[in-house]
C-alpha cells in the first residue's frame, strides 16, 4: 500500500501515525476499535452447540443471535469491528483481515486468544505444562522461553494478543482455575508473570514476534466466595495490597500491554465498573499505560448478575466511564457507546483515550504493514522440534515428587518387568490441561505411551477407563484390581480432568469449581483396591488444583504430582519414574489435607495456627516449596554480610549447598524472611527469592541472596509502606517447612 497519509507511512513515528489516523476517524470508527467479536468458525460452532443463555453464563463459546457470521463479515468490511478473539487458523485470520482492509480507513484487526501454556486453542500447536506446573519449575527463564515460542506460534496463525498471564494469587483449591495460576505466593506469581510478559512482548515492543500480553484478572478472581468462579471478593485493603496487587504491580512494571478485569465484585463494586480499581489503583498508582479489556460479557453481567445497572447501556456507560478500553465481546456495546457519546454522557475525548492505545498496539504489531500471515509457514512453526524440546524440558522440571518410601523410585526396570498401567488419566489428553483443544494424537505423548517409549524392554499392561471421571464403572475398577496380581508393579494415574472441549463433564478448569478436593468418581476406590492387592503401587496425579489425597500420602509408597504436563508430559513422567530425569520441581501451592482446611497457605499469620482442629491434623498434607529428589542436598551454615543495617541498607545471605547423593540433580534454594516484631501483624515467613542450581554428585555451590529494602518493606499499622526497625529472621532451605530451613537474624536500626 503506498503511503497516502501519515498513518500509512511506516517511517513515521508511531505517536504521529496514531494522531494522524485518529484525526481521520469518525466517532463510529473509533468506537468500533473498542469492540470485539468471537471468530467466525468459533461463532458457527457455538451457535450449533449452545443456547444464548448458556453463552451468557460464560460457556466459553460465543455467537450472536441477531448477528449471524455473514452480518459480522459485512460489519467488518464497514469498519465496524476492531478485534476478534478465538480465531483458530491462519486462513481465518487472513480472511478477516481481508475484510477489514476493505473498510474506509483500512485499519487492520487485532486478534486475541487464550494462549496460556502454548497456543492451545488452535489445533496442532505445542502444549506446554499448565501454569501451576510452570510455577513448580521455579524456572522463570524457561517460562520466558516457552512464552516466546508461544508468541511465534500465535503470530504464525495470525493472532497478536494473548490473554495471559493469570497472576491471581490462588489460595482456594476449590476454585477450578488454580491450574492456570502460578500458585499461592505473591513473589513467585510475580516472577512467573513477568517472565511470561517478557517472553511474549520482546524488548522493543514491536515487530513480527511481538505479542501483547494481558495480566489478569484484576482483582481477586482467585478468591471468590466459596471458591465459586465469579462470586464476590471481599477483602481488606491490607490483604489486597500485600497479597493480590503485587503481581499486577510487577506486570505493569514489566510493561504489560493490557490488563483484564475480573468477573467478580471487589467489596461491593463489580470490577468491570470500578473506577477506583481501574483508574486510581491501576493507572494512577501502579502506572499502567496500556489498555484494559473486559472479560467475557462481564460488562453485560453488571446488568443481569451484579444488578448495578438497569440497562445494558447503563452498564456500558459505567464501565467505559470507569476506564474500560475494549469490550469482549458482542454487538450491543458498539451501538450503545455511540449513543452515549451522542447524548453527551461520554465525551469523545474519553473515547479517544482508549482508541489511541489500541491503535498504538496495532502499529507496534506491524499490522498496517503486514496484516496477513503466510499460510505456508504455519507447519514449520507449530509444534516444531525446538518447541517440543522446551515443552519437554519444562515438563521435566515441573513434576513434583511428593513421596518415595524406601526409594521405590526410580523404578528398576530389571526388577519390574511387568507393570500394570491404569487409572482414568493414564492414556488420554487430560495431561494437556485447560485452555487446550483436543490435539492431533500424533502430537501428544500420553503417560502410557511415554512409559512404553522410555522403557521398551518392560511389559506395560494397560487397563483403560476412558477420560470421564464422573462415569467410571465399578466393573472397570474391579477389572483393574484383578489385573494387579499378575504384575510386578502398578502405576495408577488419577486426578482431574480439565478438557474444555468436554465442558459439561470435566471436573477442573474454568467454571469447574468444587466443594471438596477429593478424587472424583471411583478413583479413590480404585487406588485403595490396587494397594490392597499387595503389589507395589505408584500414584501419579494429573490435576490442575491441589487434591486432598491424605490416604494416598499415608499409604501408597510413591506419589508423583505431574500437574498437567502438556504435549510431552507422558514422556517426562516416564523419565522421572524410571530415573532418566531426576525430579526437581517444588510445590508452588500448599496441598491441604481436607477442603475444610481452606484457606491454608504457608505465609499465614501466627494466630492462624494458635489453636488446632479438635479432630484431624492441622498441618497441611504437603507444604509450599516442598519436593523430593533422587539425590540429597546438604545445606551448610548461612552467613550474613552484616548483622545490623540501616533502613535503606541491604544484607547478603550466602549458603553452601552440596550434592551428597549419587545422582546429578537440581535444587531450588528458597529464601524466606520473617519480620520478628512489627506494628501490623505479619506472615510467619514470606518467600523473597529463590535460585535453581544444578549440582553433580559431591559438588558444592554457594548461593547468595541480596536482601534489599524491598524484601523487608510492608504496610505498617498506619498503612505507610516501608521498612520498620527491628529484628528480621532470614530462612534459607529446600522448602517452606521449618525443618527444611536454616536461619539467621539481623537487625534494622
Binding residue for ligand BGC (CB under 6 A) from 163, 448, 626, 705?
163
Please report how close the Cβ of residue 502 comes to ligand BGC at its closest, in angstroms.
Answer: 17
- CB–CB of 432/425 below 8 Å? no
Q: Is 295 in the site for ligand BGC (CB under 6 A)?
A: yes
Given a contact cutoff of 8 angstroms between Cβ atoms, the answer to whether 264 and 226 are in contact is no
Q: Which of residues 620-639 bind ligand BGC (CB under 6 A)?
A: none
**Chosen residue from 64, 175, 296, 334 binding ligand BGC by CB under 6 A:** 296
Whether the CB-CB separation of 135 and 399 falls below 8 Å is answered with no
Q: At its nearest, how many Å lie between ligand BGC and the CB of residue 285?
A: 24
Instruction: By CB under 6 A, tell whether 300 contacts ligand BGC.
Output: no
Measured from the CB atom, the residue of 277 and 748 that comes closer to ligand BGC is 277
533, with CB counted inside 10 A (0-12, 13-18, 19+), is middle
3-class DSSP state of 601: coil
The nearer residue to ligand BGC, 271 or 340, going by C-beta atoms, is 271
**Would you say 60 or 695 has its CB closer to ligand BGC?**
60
Grid cell digits, residue 609: 495456627
Distances (CA, A) of 210 to 148, 150, 202: 9, 11, 6
Are 38 and 58 in contact by the 8 Å Cβ rule? The answer is no
Cis peptide before 217 (omega within 30 of 0): yes
List 295, 298, 666, 689, catalytic entry: 295
Among all residues, whose Cβ is closest to ligand BGC? 163
Binding mask 86-115 for ligand BGC (x = CB under 6 A): ----------------------------x-
Q: How many residues bind ligand BGC (CB under 6 A)?
A: 9
Residue with grid cell 511506516, as numbered in its chain:
10
- The contact mask relative to ligand BGC for 2-41 (x = CB under 6 A, - = no) is ----------------------------------------
Measured distance CA(707)–CA(649) in Å, rounded: 9
Q: How far is the CB of 683 from ligand BGC (least distance, A)?
A: 28
Query: Helices (H) and strands (E) in the chain — how many of each?
Result: 23, 27
- Touching ligand BGC, residues 694-733 (CB under 6 A): none
410 vs 509, beta carbon nearer ligand BGC: 509
Residues 6+ apart with CB under 8 A from 187: 246, 686, 687, 688, 689
Closer to ligand BGC at the Cβ: 58 or 476?
58
Decide if 478 is catalytic. Answer: no
Minimum CB separation of residue 596 from ligand BGC in Å reads: 28
Site mask, ligand BGC, residues 453-492, x = CB under 6 A? ----------------------------------------
- The pairs formed by 486-489 with CB atoms below 8 angstroms and a separation of 24 or more are 486/418, 486/420, 486/461, 487/418, 487/419, 487/420, 487/461, 487/535, 488/415, 488/416, 488/417, 488/418, 488/419, 488/535, 488/536, 489/411, 489/416, 489/418, 489/419, 489/420, 489/535, 489/536, 489/537, 489/538
**d(Cα 514, Cα 161) in Å, to the nearest integer?**
31
Of the residues 18, 60, 100, 581, which one makes contact with ligand BGC according to CB under 6 A? 60
Minimum CB separation from ligand BGC for residue 511, in Å? 8
CA–CA separation, 710 and 737 (whole Å)? 24
Examine residue 58 and tell whether it contacts ligand BGC (CB under 6 A). yes
* Binders of ligand BGC in range 210-249 (CB under 6 A): 216
Distance CA 733, CA 171 (A): 23
Told to check if 434 binds ligand BGC by CB under 6 A, we report no
* Element of type H or E holding 37: strand 35-38
Number of other residues whose CB lies within 10 A of the CB of residue 48: 9
Decide whether 84 or 460 has the Cβ nearer to ligand BGC: 84
Find the shortest distance in angstroms from Cβ 202 to ligand BGC: 22
- Chain residues binding ligand BGC by CB under 6 A are 58, 60, 85, 114, 163, 216, 295-296, 510
Catalytic residues: 295
Amino acid at each position: 500500500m503506498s503511503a497516502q497519509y501519515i498513518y500509512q507511512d511506516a517511517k513515521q513515528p508511531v505517536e504521529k501515525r496514531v494522531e494522524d489516523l485518529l484525526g481521520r476517524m469518525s466517532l463510529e470508527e473509533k468506537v468500533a476499535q473498542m469492540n470485539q467479536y468471537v471468530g467466525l468458525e468459533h461463532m458457527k460452532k457455538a451457535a450449533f452447540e449452545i443456547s444464548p443463555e448458556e453463552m451468557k453464563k460464560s460457556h466459553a463459546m460465543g455467537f450472536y443471535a441477531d448477528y449471524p457470521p455473514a452480518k459480522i463479515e459485512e460489519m467488518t468490511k464497514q469498519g465496524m469491528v476492531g478485534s476478534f478473539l478465538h480465531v483458530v487458523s491462519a486462513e481465518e485470520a487472513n480472511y478477516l483481515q481481508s475484510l477489514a482492509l476493505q473498510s474506509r480507513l483500512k485499519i487492520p484487526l487485532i486478534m486475541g486468544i487464550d494462549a496460556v501454556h502454548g497456543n492451545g486453542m488452535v489445533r496442532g500447536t505445542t502444549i506446554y505444562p499448565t501454569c501451576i506446573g510452570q510455577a513448580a519449575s521455579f524456572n522463570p527463564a524457561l517460562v520466558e522461553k516457552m512464552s516466546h515460542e508461544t508468541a511465534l506460534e500465535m503470530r504464525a496463525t495470525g493472532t497478536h494478543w494473548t490473554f495471559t498471564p493469570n497472576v491471581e494469587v490462588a489460595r482456594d483449591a476449590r476454585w477450578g482455575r488454580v491450574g492456570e495460576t502460578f500458585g499461592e505466593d505473591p513473589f513467585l506469581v510475580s516472577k512467573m508473570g513477568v517472565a511470561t510478559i517478557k517472553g511474549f512482548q520482546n524488548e522493543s515492543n514491536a515487530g513480527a514476534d511481538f505479542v501483547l500480553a494481558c495480566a489478569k484478572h484484576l482483582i481477586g478472581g482467585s478468591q471468590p466466595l466459596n471458591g465459586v468462579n465469579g462470586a464476590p471478593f471481599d477483602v481488606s485493603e491490607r490483604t489486597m495490597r500485600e497479597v493480590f496487587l503485587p503481581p499486577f504491580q510487577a506486570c505493569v512494571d514489566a510493561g504489560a500491554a493490557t490488563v483484564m478485569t475480573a468477573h467478580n465484585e471487589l467489596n461491593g463494586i463489580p470490577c468491570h465498573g470500578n473506577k477506583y480499581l481501574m483508574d486510581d489503583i491501576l493507572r494512577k498508582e501502579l502506572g499502567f499505560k496500556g489498555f484494559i479489556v473486559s472479560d467475557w460479557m462481564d460488562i453485560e453481567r453488571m446488568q443481569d448478575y451484579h444488578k448495578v445497572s438497569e440497562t445494558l447501556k447503563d452498564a456500558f456507560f459505567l464501565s467505559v466511564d470507569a476506564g474500560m478500553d475494549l469490550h469482549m465481546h458482542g454487538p450491543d456495546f458498539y451501538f450503545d457507546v455511540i449513543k452515549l457519546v451522542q447524548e453527551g454522557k461520554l465525551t469523545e475525548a474519553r473515547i479517544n483515550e482508549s482508541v489511541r492505545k489500541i491503535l498504538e498496539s496495532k502499529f507496534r504489531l506491524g499490522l498496517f504493514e503486514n496484516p496477513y500471515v503466510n499460510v505456508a509457514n504455519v507447519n514449520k512453526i507449530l509444534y516444531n522440534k525446538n518447541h517440543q524440546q522446551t515443552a519437554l524440558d519444562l515438563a521435566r522440571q515441573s513434576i513434583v515428587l511428593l513421596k518415595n518410601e524406601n526409594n521405590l523410585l526410580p523404578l528398576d526396570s530389571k526388577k519390574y518387568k511387568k507393570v500394570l498401567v491404569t487409572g482414568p488419566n493414564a492414556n488420554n489428553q487430560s495431561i494437556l490441561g485447560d485452555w487446550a483443544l483436543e490435539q492431533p494424537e500424533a502430537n501428544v505423548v500420553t503417560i502410557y505411551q511415554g512409559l512404553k517409549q522410555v522403557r521398551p524392554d518392560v511389559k506395560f499392561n494397560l487397563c483403560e477407563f476412558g477420560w470421564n471421571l464422573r462415569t467410571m464403572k465399578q466393573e472397570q475398577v474391579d477389572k483393574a484390581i484383578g489385573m494387579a496380581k499378575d504384575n510386578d508393579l502398578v502405576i495408577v494415574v488419577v486426578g482431574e480432568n480439565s478438557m474444555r472441549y468436554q465442558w459439561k463433564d470435566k471436573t477442573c478448569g474454568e467454571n469447574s469449581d468444587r466443594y471438596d478436593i477429593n478424587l472424583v468418581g471411583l478413583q479413590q476406590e480404585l487406588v485403595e483396591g490396587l494397594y490392597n492387592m499387595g503389589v507395589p503401587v505408584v500414584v501419579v496425579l494429573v490435576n490442575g488444583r491441589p487434591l486432598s489425597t491424605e490416604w494416598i500420602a499415608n499409604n501408597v509408597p510413591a506419589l508423583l504430582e505431574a500437574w498437567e504436563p502438556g504435549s510431552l508430559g507422558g514422556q517426562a513422567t516416564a523419565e522421572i519414574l524410571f530415573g532418566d530425569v531426576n525430579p526437581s520441581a517444588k510445590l508452588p501451592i500448599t496441598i491441604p489435607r481436607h477442603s475444610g482446611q481452606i484457606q491454608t497457605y504457608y505465609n499465614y499469620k501466627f494466630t492462624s495456627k494458635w489453636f488446632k482442629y479438635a479432630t484431624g491434623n492441622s498441618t497441611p498434607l504437603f507444604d509450599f516449596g516442598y519436593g523430593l529428589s533422587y539425590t540429597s542436598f546438604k545445606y551448610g551454615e548461612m552467613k550474613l554480610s552484616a548483622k545490623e543495617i540501616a533502613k535503606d541498607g541491604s544484607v547478603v545471605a550466602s549458603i553452601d549447598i552440596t550434592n551428597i547423593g549419587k545422582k546429578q540433580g537440581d535444587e531450588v534454594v528458597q529464601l524466606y524472611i520473617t519480620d520478628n516484631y512489627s506494628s501490623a501483624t505479619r506472615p510467619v515467613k514470606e518467600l523473597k527469592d529463590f535460585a535453581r542450581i544444578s549440582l553433580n554428585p559431591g559438588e558444592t555451590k554457594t548461593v547468595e541472596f541480596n536482601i534489599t529494602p524491598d524484601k523487608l518493606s510492608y504496610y505498617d499499622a498506619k498503612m505507610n509502606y516501608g521498612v520498620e526497625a527491628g529484628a528480621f529472621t532470614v530462612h534459607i532451605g529446600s522448602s517452606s517447612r521449618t525443618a527444611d530451613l536454616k536461619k539467621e537474624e539481623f537487625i534494622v536500626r
